[in-house]
A and B are shown apart, each in its own frame.
Chain A
């Protein structure tokens, strides 16, 4: 068979396929191809728990973001006549008030805003660091890989909370941005390991080899060819980091080494309520439940995203 003939044959084949497809069209049975992202989106939308969580979380997030308009009372203004009220609909003190009459629902909203603010910065920064460290280690391999991964291992075995406390105590935490960066400094390790593993295996794949042969630069291969392929695990991990960051920031603030007044923080609200656990139970209960609800929603969303984006890593 000559080249010419092969080409005609192929043309003929495409022709036939096209007619076949056309007839399908005619019957109204449209065959639509879906991109990877469309498939993932469809799968995520079908995950009921994750979708519910997304709706709830968006609701909390918006309420916290617009706390000035949503909260019925200001964050820090005492109102002595209304002091120590248990949760009541009167005056809309649905989370009660503390012993100088500050409305705990409003305080919780402002605290949630700080928590989310911190958590998103942590997720962003730690994801970038994790991608850079993991990417360099996995792509270049060899000695660089060895050194970077030993450092990562070291971070992984450190008594995390203790290091965090030392850092925030001596570097002086207090404001949300500092707390966020201290957290991000320690939270990039799990992503670095994931990214490294993926890079190690993708680096050997044919499409990367092809790109190399075509003369693509390292940068182009890393950013255009490999990274888009591991977007799934990265997104899932970033989501879970948001939950971790919220929990750890709350613990730090609770111990008095995280966010300090005048900045509102959920952990601080709980430690304020700690002395009156049995008499004014609502003070520690509602900020705590808020943290649980947010973390639970994020974990469910992460689970849904994992199902949708990252079938390999799925916990069976």
Chain B
């Protein structure tokens, strides 16, 4: 197991290098730092020359790439072009805040989806099955940002009508909170619900399909023929195999979830990676954007590694050698 993880980590290195190529050269295809800098009014020639020297902007692109990689590895992604501010402290804080949201919402989404998927597969074509199918169709069809706005409007209206503060619709914490933990939870509920709901719709469809596949397979018939009770058959024999697709989907989807956080965090003013991304984008800060993209790429690679480890736990036939 240890060697497997170590080897997988080694295999990830070329992928990360490829990602860094893609991020850097992709970015220089769509824009270049100089033209972004020229958009800023009142930037003196001296400052501009200073930035060009510091970021080696008059060197060939491949040399610039080298300096960028060097900065990334040895200087924690280096500094912003304008103002020479270190990137990492802000990004680190944003990553922490986003992980709180994303990990909790993914966990909720997977657990809920497994429950819904298994139940509707067990009761195929029942009223429950049709209801969850219809609801998941709504899940595919409701834009995330609009759903977030509706939640926000409902929560605000509820507060204005009753005066009871159930959840907050803005920010991460209130300055005058007495119970810090409860206050944080109240701030997190709406963003988490928003992030989870689309994924529940998608994941539960996959879970249902794979559960149906497994339930119709021979070894399940054997298990029933042995006289095992239905509960054991479902929970011990069928479920573990039926969870392999959802693990794959959830891992592959990790990048999309981080992207989805952009919308959710913007609407709920959550100081995470999404908001960090939009702020950098508005300011045209290419170096922070590239740092963001690299962090996301590494997160996706790690999520896939986690999925590979989970496979072995779900299906003992999968060996790590």
Interface 0/1 of A275-307, CB less than 8 Å to B:
001100100100010011001100110010000
Within 8 Å by CB of A315, from B160, B209, B292, lies B209
- A149 interface hit (Cβ, 8 Å): no
CB distance from B293 to the nearest CB of A (A): 7
A162 x B141 contact (CB < 8 A): no
A-contacting residues, B138-167, CB 8 Å? 138, 140-146, 149-150, 152-153, 156-157, 160
Within 8 Å by CB of B259, from A154, A159, A291, lies A159
Assuming the contacts A299-B137, A315-B209, asked whether A292 and B146 have C-beta atoms less than 8 A apart, the reply is: yes
Assuming the contacts A251-B144, A299-B141, asked whether A165 and B156 have C-beta atoms less than 8 A apart, the reply is: no
Interface 0/1 of A256-269, CB less than 8 Å to B:
01000000000100
Within 8 Å by CB of A274, from B31, B149, B209, lies B149
Assuming the contacts A166-B30, A288-B143, A296-B138, asked whether A278 and B263 have C-beta atoms less than 8 A apart, the reply is: no
Binds B, one of A67-75, A116-124, A167-175, A209-217: A167-175
Measured CA separation A299–B137 after assembly (Å): 7
- B258 interface hit (Cβ, 8 Å): yes
In the complex, the chain A residue whose C-beta lies closest to that of B263 is A251
- A129 interface hit (Cβ, 8 Å): no
Measured CA separation A284–B141 after assembly (Å): 16
- B296 interface hit (Cβ, 8 Å): yes
Measured CA separation A156–B252 after assembly (Å): 8
A-contacting residues, B254-307, CB 8 Å? 255-256, 258-260, 262-263, 266, 277-278, 281, 289, 292-293, 296, 300, 304
A288 x B260 contact (CB < 8 A): no
- A270 interface hit (Cβ, 8 Å): yes
- B55 interface hit (Cβ, 8 Å): no
A295 x B260 contact (CB < 8 A): no
- B205 interface hit (Cβ, 8 Å): yes
Measured CA separation A299–B252 after assembly (Å): 23
User: Interface size (A, Cβ < 8 Å)?
Assistant: 38
- A243 interface hit (Cβ, 8 Å): yes
Within 8 Å by CB of B156, from A161, A243, A277, A288, lies A277
Interface 0/1 of A231-259, CB less than 8 Å to B:
00000000000010001001100110100
- A92 interface hit (Cβ, 8 Å): no
B259 x A243 contact (CB < 8 A): no
Interface 0/1 of A136-162, CB less than 8 Å to B:
000000000000000000101111111
- B94 interface hit (Cβ, 8 Å): no
B30 x A167 contact (CB < 8 A): yes
A278 x B149 contact (CB < 8 A): no
B149 x A157 contact (CB < 8 A): no
Measured CA separation A250–B263 after assembly (Å): 12
B contact patch SS: helix
Assuming the contacts A251-B263, A284-B146, asked whether A299 and B140 have C-beta atoms less than 8 A apart, the reply is: yes
Contacts of B48 in A (CB 8 A): none
CB distance from B121 to the nearest CB of A (A): 8
Assuming the contacts A157-B300, A167-B30, asked whether A288 and B146 have C-beta atoms less than 8 A apart, the reply is: yes
Within 8 Å by CB of B292, from A156, A162, A251, A316, lies A162
Contacts of A160 in B (CB 8 A): 255-256, 259
A278 x B160 contact (CB < 8 A): yes
A288 x B255 contact (CB < 8 A): no
- B108 interface hit (Cβ, 8 Å): no
Measured CA separation A160–B259 after assembly (Å): 6
Interface 0/1 of B29-61, CB less than 8 Å to A:
011000000000000000000000000000000
Measured CA separation A292–B138 after assembly (Å): 8
Within 8 Å by CB of A296, from B27, B141, B208, B289, lies B141
Measured CA separation A300–B133 after assembly (Å): 11
In the complex, the chain A residue whose C-beta lies closest to that of B156 is A278
B-contacting residues, A73-101, CB 8 Å? none
Interface 0/1 of B222-259, CB less than 8 Å to A:
00000000000000000000000000000010011011
CB distance from A211 to the nearest CB of B (A): 34
CB distance from B184 to the nearest CB of A (A): 24
Within 8 Å by CB of B281, from A169, A254, A288, A300, lies A169
CB distance from B120 to the nearest CB of A (A): 11
Measured CA separation A166–B209 after assembly (Å): 35
Measured CA separation A270–B120 after assembly (Å): 35
A295 x B140 contact (CB < 8 A): yes
CB distance from A275 to the nearest CB of B (A): 11
- B95 interface hit (Cβ, 8 Å): no
- A-B contacts, 28 of them at CB < 8 A, read A154-B18, A158-B255, A159-B293, A160-B255, A160-B259, A161-B259, A161-B263, A162-B259, A162-B293, A165-B262, A165-B278, A166-B281, A166-B293, A167-B30, A247-B143, A254-B263, A255-B278, A257-B281, A277-B149, A278-B153, A278-B157, A288-B143, A291-B143, A292-B138, A292-B142, A292-B146, A299-B141, A316-B208
Given contacts A292-B138, A296-B138, A296-B141, 19 further A-B contacts (CB under 8 A): A159-B259, A162-B293, A162-B296, A165-B277, A167-B30, A250-B146, A251-B145, A254-B143, A255-B266, A270-B145, A278-B156, A278-B157, A278-B160, A281-B153, A288-B150, A295-B142, A296-B137, A299-B141, A315-B205
| A-B pairs, 10 with minimum CB distance | A161-B259, A295-B141, A170-B31, A159-B259, A288-B146, A296-B141, A277-B153, A159-B255, A170-B30, A316-B212
